[in-house]
Structure 1
Amino acid sequence: MGAVAVSWEISLHPEVEAWYLAICVSDPDTSDLIADALDQLEHEGPAAGRPPVDRIKSSSYHNMKELRPPSTGSTEIRMLFAFDPLREAIVLVAGDKSGQWQQWYREAVPLADKRFAEHLAAVKEK
Structure 2
Amino acid sequence: MSKRWDVILLDEVEQWFFTLDRDTMATVAGAIDLLELEGPTLGRPVVDKVNGSRFHNMKELRPAGTSIRVLFIFDPARQAILLLGGDKAGDSKRWYDRNIPIADARFESWLATEHGG
If the length of structure 2 is used for normalisation, what is the TM-score? 0.94
The letter for the 1-side match of 2:8 is: S
Q: Pick from 22, 37, 43: which aligns with 1:28? A: 22
* Percent of residue pairs bearing the same amino acid type: 48
For residue 73 of structure 2, give the secondary structure of its aligned residue in structure 1.
Answer: strand
Per the alignment, do residues 29 and 85 of structure 1 end up closer, same or farther by CA in structure 2, a change over 3 Å counting? same
Structure 1 segments (4+ residues) deviating >6 Å: none
Return the alpha-carbon distance in structure 1 between the equivalents of residues 27 and 56 of structure 2. 26
User: Gapped runs of 5+ residues in structure 2?
Assistant: none
- Aligned-CA RMSD value: 1.5
Aligned residues: 117
The equivalent residue for 2:80 is 89
Return the alpha-carbon distance in structure 1 between the equivalents of residues 14 and 37 of structure 2. 20
Per the alignment, do residues 58 and 49 of structure 1 end up closer, same or farther by CA in structure 2, a change over 3 Å counting? same
Return the alpha-carbon distance in structure 2 between the equivalents of residues 83 and 15 of structure 1. 17
Higher-Rg member (1/2): 1
The letter for the 2-side match of 1:58 is: G
If the length of structure 1 is used for normalisation, what is the TM-score? 0.88
